[in-house]
Amino acid sequence: MADDLGDLLNSSKKTIGTAVGRIVSNDDGRHVGFVYEWNTGEIQNAWFDEPEDDVVYQMFADEENAA
């Protein structure tokens, strides 16, 4: 077990994921999943249901910069 949060953040194992964007269907605008960035730097899609092909990725940082 990690001694503190720093150990978790610097771990080579995926232990902490942060949502960095949403996945939206191009067909009908449904929110179909999230994009996560793990403490390892890996980016991963998390789908609510089956993965879809025709989607748009709306990253949260992009929305903050547009305001």
DSSP per residue, the chain = --SSHHHHHT-SS---EEEEEEEEETTT--EEEEEEEETTS-EEEEESSS--SSEEEEEHHHHHHH-
Whether the per-residue pLDDT at 60 is higher than 80: the answer is: yes
pLDDT in tens, 2-54: 566 666 666 688 999 999 999 999 999 999 999 999 999 999 999 999 999 99
| pLDDT given for residue 41 in this prediction | 95
pTM listed for this prediction: 0.74
**Domains: count for the chain:** 1
Confirm whether 12 is domain-assigned: no
For residue 53, the enclosing domain spans 19-66
User: Where does residue 21 rank: exposed (0-12), middle (13-18), buried (19+ CB within 10 A)?
Assistant: buried
| pLDDT given for residue 61 in this prediction | 83
- Please name which of 18, 26, 15 lies closest in space to residue 56, comparing C-alpha atoms: 26
Res. 58 pLDDT band, cuts 50 70 90: very high
3-class SS of residue 17 = strand
Confirm whether 9 is domain-assigned: no
